[in-house]
Amino acid sequence: MTGTRRGETLNIVWFWALAAMLTTYGTLDGYDLGVGSLHLWIARGDTERRIALNAIGPLWNGNEVWLIASGGLMVVSFPRVYASGFSGFYLALIVALWLLVLRGVSIEFRSQIDNSLWKALWDVSFWLGSWLLAFLLGVALGNVVRGLPVGADGYFQGSFALLLNPYSLLVGVLSVIVLAWHGANYLRLKTEDALLERALHTSARLWVLVVILTGLTTVATYFTRPDAGQKFISHPLALIFPLITLAGLVGGFFNRRANDRVAFCSSTLVIVGLMGSAAASIFPDLLTSTLNPAYSLSVYNAASSPHALRAAFIANAIGMVGVIAYSTYIHRKFRGKVRLGRHGY
């Protein structure tokens, strides 16, 4: 009995470790995607666009490590979920991979040739890749919360078109707007003069949309997944996530034109709160089957062996210490306002 309880506890720890890593990716690469989503509108002219790119230039590739690490973590902890998820999201994941490549190429190639048409091409590519990726990640999250047609064999039974349902599209729009708000708040920390003023105005307007869409998505979630409310009642500690979201929204209101650092922390809290709420609403499932609840893949029936989970947890913890140390160092190294000629990216 004791062994079973220990095994179940380890499964739960892995569930929340995976949720935490995906949330970290959302908060770190989220401001990269947000800056990209606003790139054509908030930064005007070559100088401002170079400043916006320099603001994320030293950081974006390190931030994406968290997404790769999350995928690797899923392989060793919940291999059946990894197999089923990739079978269902295969086309979406390939598109996401190409969008990640497009964003990286756009950042690296833009300054290779001093030609206005060349730069315009990569500016549009960076903007397109950023908002499409933000939208696609939101659609994926919406489908995970809504549930997928997982069959008795544990594999996806359906087509890509099924993923484009009204609820997941709503979550996709929410993702784009929240990350754009996060990106605007990040630019408030990193820019000056006209670009800073534009970031302030954009942040204030996007905050209104974030509030509206968060409310609509919350209502839609309870209609789409009626058991979500019961999950929070059964696990009262999970109520911390909606409270974190609310704190972020309130903080965003009071800091629309005030403290830039607090504004960025507010959008960070909203991302953490929304991701945590999504995880709590599906726990203990990782992939809920819309065909039959018995076919759902949960932390109990989709996990690796206890020995594999223990060994992988130790290895993952060591690796994450290194990633956290690097991420902390690089953010401290390049903190402060960005000016052309500084950091020379």
Which residue positions in the chain have pLDDT lower than 70?
1-7, 256-258, 341-345
Q: Are 37 and 172 in contact (CB under 8 A)?
A: no
CA distance 93 to 156: 14
Q: Spell out the alpha helix ranges (H) of the chain.
A: 2-37, 39-42, 45-56, 60-63, 65-77, 79-88, 90-109, 116-146, 166-190, 193-224, 228-234, 240-254, 260-282, 306-333
pLDDT (0 to 100) of residue 57: 83
Q: Are 187 and 195 in contact (CB under 8 A)?
A: yes
- Is the CATH code 1.10.150.530 the one for domain 2-333? no
CA distance 3 to 1: 5
pLDDT (0 to 100) of residue 257: 63
Question: Residue 289's beta-bridge partner residues?
Answer: 148
> pTM above the 0.95 mark?
no
In this structure, the strands spanning 297-298 and 285-287 are: antiparallel
Angle of helix 45-56 versus helix 166-190 axis, rounded to 10: 100
Would you state the structure tokens that stand for residue 95, as one six-digit string?
Answer: 């598109």
Would you state the structure tokens that stand for residue 114, as one six-digit string?
Answer: 């001093």
pLDDT (0 to 100) of residue 277: 94
Q: Is 303 exposed, middle or buried (0-12, 13-18, 19+ CB in 10 A)?
A: buried
Phi, psi at 185, each rounded to 5°: -65, -35
Tens of pLDDT along 297-308? Answer: 999 988 888 888
pLDDT (0 to 100) of residue 258: 65
Closest CA to 49 of 117, 118, 100, 119: 119
pLDDT (0 to 100) of residue 313: 84
Tens of pLDDT along 144-176? Answer: 999 888 888 878 887 777 888 999 999 999 999
pLDDT (0 to 100) of residue 8: 79
pLDDT (0 to 100) of residue 260: 84
Type of residue at 45: G
CA distance 212 to 194: 28
Residues 6+ apart with CB under 8 A from 262: 251, 255
CA distance 48 to 248: 28
Residue whose pair of structure tokens reads 């629309």 in the numeric block:
256
Tens of pLDDT along 18-44? Answer: 999 999 999 999 999 999 999 888 888
Closest CA to 241 of 199, 282, 280: 280
Phi, psi at 258, each rounded to 5°: -115, -120
Residue whose pair of structure tokens reads 């990216």 in the numeric block:
345
Mean pLDDT, the chain, whole residue set: 87
